[in-house]
């Protein structure tokens, strides 16, 4: 409901680009401030801790089965959301979103109510983020203001960039890989520089691999193999 109200006024007034980004980050900071201000309910900077999962405790070897149940629940939810996203993208709705992205004014003058489409996908993204947050809290067992900062928004951009922009599977791949790297690097010998490593991976991807991992597998590697194959044929001809 909050996303619908905010999105309605933003897209009705055709706010986009840098201004939309600024508003989004301002809302994030507002949520962060509200969380701290309501310290009698949220414990302020400490946050809400000792949250029980829907399956009970998942800590320790005695509760490994509960941990696996929660894991499979998260996996099922991710699969359903992935299927829903693919369904929407593969239909006319998905083509309209691409049209709005590439030429919003042209789409608007073609007779489509652009603000309604943008608000719908904005609300849908908020719902999916809410589901992800609920699952995350079950795994983490707590929620603190530090998890409501702008850095998490930046992290999601890195997931998409590394995995592959313009694809749904790319975001999934990027999220898995970046979180795996973050978990291993932040708890090992590179604990002081792991953020620099993640940042370097992001920069290299943006500069040299604009389509991310999906682009490397689907475009760049096949192109490389074709060039090598062509060179091999040319050498064979010269030898003949």
Residue 113 pLDDT > 80, yes or no?
yes
Mean model confidence pLDDT for the chain: 85
Burial zone of 100 (CB within 10 Å; 0-12 exposed, 13-18 middle, 19+ buried): buried
Share of the chain above pLDDT 90, in %: 19
Q: From CA 56, how far away is CA 49, in angstroms rounded?
A: 14
Sign of CA dihedral 103, 108, 111, 115: positive
CA distance 155 to 179: 10
Distance CA 204, CA 184 (A): 20
In this prediction, residue 5 carries a pLDDT of 93
What is residue 83's predicted lDDT score, i.e. its pLDDT? 93
- Residue 70's pLDDT is what? 86
pLDDT digits 0-9 by tens, 41-100: 888 888 888 777 777 777 777 777 888 888 899 999 999 999 999 999 999 999 999 999
| Structure confidence by residue, pLDDT tens digits, 223-239 | 878 888 887 777 777 77
Confidence of residue 240 (pLDDT cuts 50, 70, 90): low
Q: Is residue 178 over pLDDT 90?
A: no
β-sheet bridge partners, residue 48? 143
Domain residue ranges of the chain, discontinuous segments joined by +:
1-148, 158-240
Phi, psi of 56 (to 5 degrees): 90, -160
List of long-range contacts for 147-156, beta carbons under 8 Å, 24+ apart: 147/47, 148/28, 148/31, 148/32, 148/35, 149/28, 149/32, 150/25, 150/28, 150/29, 153/24, 153/25, 153/28
pLDDT of residue 121: 93
pLDDT digits (tens, 9 = 90+) for 7-29: 999 998 888 888 888 888 888 88
pTM: 0.80
- At 143, which helix (H) or strand (E)? none
Residue 49: the pLDDT is: 82
Averaged pLDDT, 136-155: 82
- CA dist 110 and 104 (Å) reads 10
56-60, 87-91, 172-176, 182-186: segment of lowest average pLDDT: 56-60
Using the predicted structure, report yes or no on whether residue 206 has a pLDDT greater than 90.
no
């Amino acid at each position: 409901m909050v996303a619908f109200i905010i999105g309605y006024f933003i897209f009705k007034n055709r706010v986009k680009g840098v201004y939309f980004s600024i508003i989004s980050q301002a809302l994030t900071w507002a949520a962060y401030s509200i969380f701290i201000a309501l310290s009698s309910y949220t414990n302020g900077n400490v946050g809400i801790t000792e949250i029980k999962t829907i399956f009970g405790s998942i800590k320790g070897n005695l509760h490994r089965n509960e941990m696996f149940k929660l894991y499979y629940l998260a996996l099922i939810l991710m699969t359903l959301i992935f299927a829903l996203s693919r369904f929407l993208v593969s239909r006319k709705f998905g083509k309209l979103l691409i049209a709005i992205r590439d030429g919003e004014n042209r789409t608007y003058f073609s007779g489509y109510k652009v603000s309604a489409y943008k608000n719908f996908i904005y609300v849908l993204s908020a719902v999916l983020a809410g589901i992800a947050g609920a699952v995350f809290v079950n795994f983490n067992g707590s929620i603190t203001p530090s998890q409501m900062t702008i850095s998490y928004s930046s992290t999601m951009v890195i997931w998409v960039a590394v995995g592959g922009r313009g694809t749904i599977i790319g975001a999934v791949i990027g999220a898995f890989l970046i979180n795996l790297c973050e978990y291993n690097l932040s708890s090992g010998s590179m604990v002081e520089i792991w953020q620099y490593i993640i940042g370097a991976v992001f920069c290299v991807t943006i500069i040299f691999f604009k389509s991310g991992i999906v682009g490397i597998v689907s475009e760049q590697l096949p192109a490389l193999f074709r060039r090598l194959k062509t060179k091999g044929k040319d050498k064979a001809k010269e030898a003949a």
